[in-house]
Amino acid sequence: MPPSVQCLLAALASATAVLAASSPRPSASLIYVGASRVDLTRTDWEAYDDANGNGHFDRLAGETWFDTGHDRLYDFEEEGAFGVDGAPGRVGVDDDQNGSTDDCDRSPHPIMRPRERCKEYGAPGSDDMDDPARDNWHWLLRPFANEGNLHFDNFGLAGFGPNWPVGYFRAVNEINDDDINGDGINDGIWARSIAIENEQGIATLIMSVDFAAMMHDFINPVKRRISEHAVDLGIDLPYENIVISSTHNHNSPDALGLWDLPRGGLDQRYIHGAGQRIDLDDTGVLDRMLLSAVEALAGMKPSLVRSAQGRPIACYDPETNLLLRDEDCVLYNNYGQNINPEPGYHRFVVQNDLREPWVRNMAITVLQFAELAPNGEVGETIATLVNFANHPEVLGSAEGNIQSSDYPHYVRERLEGALGGISVFVSGTVGNQIGYLHSSTPVPLYDAAGNLVCQIDPENPQDCLYDANGRIVPEWTWSESREKVRSLGLYIGDVAIEAIEASSSWLESPPLEILHDTVEIELENPFLGFFGCTKLDDFRESDEPYWIPGWCEPLTVPGCIARVAAHDPCAIYFTLDLNIVRIGDAQFITSPGEMPPEYLLGRDATTVSYRNPPRNDICDFPAMPGLIDLMEAPHRFVANMGNSEAGYLVPYADYVPLGDMSHPNYYEEEVSSGPHFGDDVANALAALLGDYSRPYGAEERACFTE
């Protein structure tokens, strides 16, 4: 067992004793809070020469890889390769006869590329060490080593198109090691947890993982193991009170199996580690998720909480540079016209909506948990939880081979640098392509040091330009890039900090309520049905999909695919968890997929006409109520992809039939469970909030062709 895990288990035993001995607790309904972050970044890959700079490994274009093994170093580049004297070959001897001593001559070679060789390394009589890292492949001695095995050991990143085994795929080639606040926490893939318990014994745990998606086949077993370990700590944390969500980060390893399906699906070793059981002393993703939760539970301290909501700049007036928030923006009801607004309309910034009708949720919600000091004062920050709605895909395809948590990294860096503690980012209403897939959405520019860059006042070149309300007018960054991902994250972080620091309402005895229910979802989409069939072996028995009628249940993956293709009379269903969580003045609902803003905020009836000859499409979108009106706390939000990821939630009225790919609103249907998925989830959440009238679900489709 690794020493770090032994230390943790000892800490757990100590924490259990402390909890058992700390009776009686204060009579007030105090809360106890702990937080943890555990690194999930993959390092087991070989790099390649991205010669055409398109962010993909393009074998058909002649790109090749460096057969170095997972350390991404050839033998002569590894530590200790040049022996005690520190020089390649024999010290002071021109071993390669190139006229220079103690050098690595990498002149042109008919077969090997310059980086692959160092001519003097390993010269006879030298003290150079052969294979210092002991990672050279040998069919008998080291059959599982990687260097020199003539195989490209790499993995595809998730979030955009499928990764094909030959030809073209988003093979990782770099980690965005950017620690902007200098705390040693780099941009990577993380499992971050906040554990909360009050004096009445009500407990919850909220975890966020930096993946494009994770389904309940992996989430549910982790939740059960968390609940078991909580018992060992003397904490009653039911499975139903645990929320695990994905940020939907598009530069992460594939934890769903969808994007790497053409290359064989999930990397089981990365997900499960050495064994299938989820354990603290294993190294798989699920094991480390458990570790994050247990560390948070074991570290709970008496705490205060406060929450707030901030509003970023949502648009500006192109004629006056006046910066406006969402409620003051004059925008069209569709994306096409909002790109090039006519006089009298404003230009949107920070958040986009690629699917009509135009509905944005611009709220930035933040909760801050701080230690309750013995003297009753506010102590150090334990954790922050921040929620915002935007697809974490700001790096885009141009930076497609970078392993990164995208803009949430910089949000967390900003909050941790300013407030302390561990920051947890939870994605909001990102459905309907809320985000940055195109370069049509500018954000305020921040430089590499983390400072806002302002436009210069043309009348006073020494000063920044200010709008009529006294706000600094920023320079804007448009294209998908590292600059843009940094700028967006820091800006969202700054708005969150400004909002929470303006809040003086620290709560010592906050309300804590966790509601739970399930919803049955029919997987009507044959595309996702085929994918679901490939994952049957990943489900524990209690989480498996079920078939109606029961005799339809197949015994094999090919049988499952045949059933999905036939569809009638066989239907496949999932049971998905839903939660509503109240913490002080904040309350959130979970969505087992990508919920669009209109389910939370509601929308007015609107008509959008598309003129794309030879077809003219019209959509009469009906009005929708908002779940927010059923929620009670002042600061309300959605934890998207909470407890599973079953695709986009599209209102039945808006749903475009599968295969109608020329329709301007068509895309989300390809990756949605089906036309009833969104309304079924929304109705179940409404019932959990006390409205049993099933307010969601129109009888007619909104879109038709003239």
What is the per-residue pLDDT across 402-442, written as a single tens digit (0 to 9) for each? Answer: 999 999 999 999 999 999 999 999 999 999 888 865 688 99
What are the pLDDT digits (tens) for 174-184? Answer: 999 898 888 88
Sign of CA dihedral 489, 495, 499, 500: positive
| Axis crossing angle, helix 285-298 with helix 216-232, rounded to the nearest 10 | 40
User: What is the mean predicted confidence (pLDDT) over 83-96?
Assistant: 95
pLDDT above 50: residue 609? yes
pLDDT of 19 > 60? The answer is no
Q: What is the pLDDT of residue 298?
A: 98
Structure tokens at 667: 């895309």
Q: Is the predicted pLDDT of residue 12 greater than 60, yes or no?
A: no
How far is Cα 262 from Cα 272, in angstroms, rounded to an integer?
20
Token pair recorded at residue 438: 């195109």
Q: State yes or no: pLDDT of 555 exceeds 80.
A: no
**pLDDT of 2 strictly over 90:** no
For residue range 273-282, what is the model confidence (pLDDT) as tens digits? 998 899 999 9
Mode of pairing for the β-strands spanning 546-548 and 586-591: unpaired
Q: What value does the mean pLDDT take over residues 521-548?
A: 87
Between CA 189 and CA 37 the distance in angstroms is: 10
Q: Which residues of 41-71 are buried (b: 16+ CB within 10 A; e: fewer)?
A: bbeebbbbebeeebbbbbbeeebebbbbbbb
Cβ distance 312 to 324 under 8 Å? no
- Residue 298 burial (C-beta neighbours within 10 Å; 0-12, 13-18, 19+): buried
Residue 558 lies in a domain: yes
Task: Give the confidence band of 608 by pLDDT, cuts at 50, 70, 90.
Answer: very high
Residue 437 included in any domain: no
- Is position 698 within any domain? no
Q: Are 359 and 353 spatial neighbours (Cβ–Cβ below 8 Å)?
A: yes
First to last CA, the chain: 68
The pLDDT tens digits of the residues spanning 183-211 come to: 888 899 999 999 999 999 999 999 999 99
pLDDT: is 10 or 310 the higher one?
A: 310
Residue 319 scores a pLDDT above 90: yes
Predicted TM-score (pTM) of this structure: 0.93
Tell me the HSE value of 272 on the side-chain side, using a 13 A CA sphere: 13
Distance, CA of 604 to CA of 329 (rounded, Å): 16
Nearest partner of 216 among 584, 634, 646, judged by Cα: 646
What pLDDT sits at residue 660?
82
Which residues lie closer than 8 Å to 686 by C-beta, 6 or more apart?
A: 627, 630, 692, 693, 694, 695, 696
pLDDT of 360 strictly over 70: yes
33 close to 199: Cβ distance less than 8 angstroms: no
Written as six digits, the tokens of 364 are 């930035």
Nearest in space to 643 (alpha carbons), one of 198, 128, 217: 217
611-643 pLDDT, tens digit per residue, is 766 678 899 999 999 999 999 999 999 999 999
**What are 151-164's pLDDT values in tens digits?**
999 999 998 888 88
Q: What is the pLDDT of residue 568?
A: 73
Domain assignment present for 503: no
The side-by-side arrangement of strands in the sheet containing 323-324 is 323-324, 315-316, 347-348
* pLDDT 10s digits, 51-68: 888 888 988 888 889 999
Q: Where are the alpha helices (DSSP H) in 535-690?
A: 557-566, 597-601, 677-688
Mean pLDDT is lowest, of 14-28, 229-243, 375-389, for 14-28
Q: Are 222 and 278 in contact (CB under 8 A)?
A: yes
pLDDT grade for 397, boundaries at 50, 70 and 90: low
The Cα 163–Cα 213 span in angstroms is: 16
Using one digit for the tens of pLDDT, what is the confidence trace for 481-510? 899 999 999 999 999 999 999 987 899 999
pLDDT, tens digit, 9 for 90 and up, residues 559-580: 888 888 777 788 889 999 999 9
| Nearest Cα to Cα of residue 420 among 410, 428, 412, 431 | 412
Rg (CA), the chain: 27
Q: Is residue 205 part of a domain?
A: no
Other beta carbons within 10 angstroms of residue 14's beta carbon come to 11
pLDDT in tens, 219-275: 999 999 999 999 999 999 999 999 999 999 999 999 998 888 888 888 999 999 998
Considering its fold, how many domains does the chain have in total? 1
Crossing angle (nearest 10°) for helices 526-534 and 557-566 = 170
Domain limits for position 532: 525-570
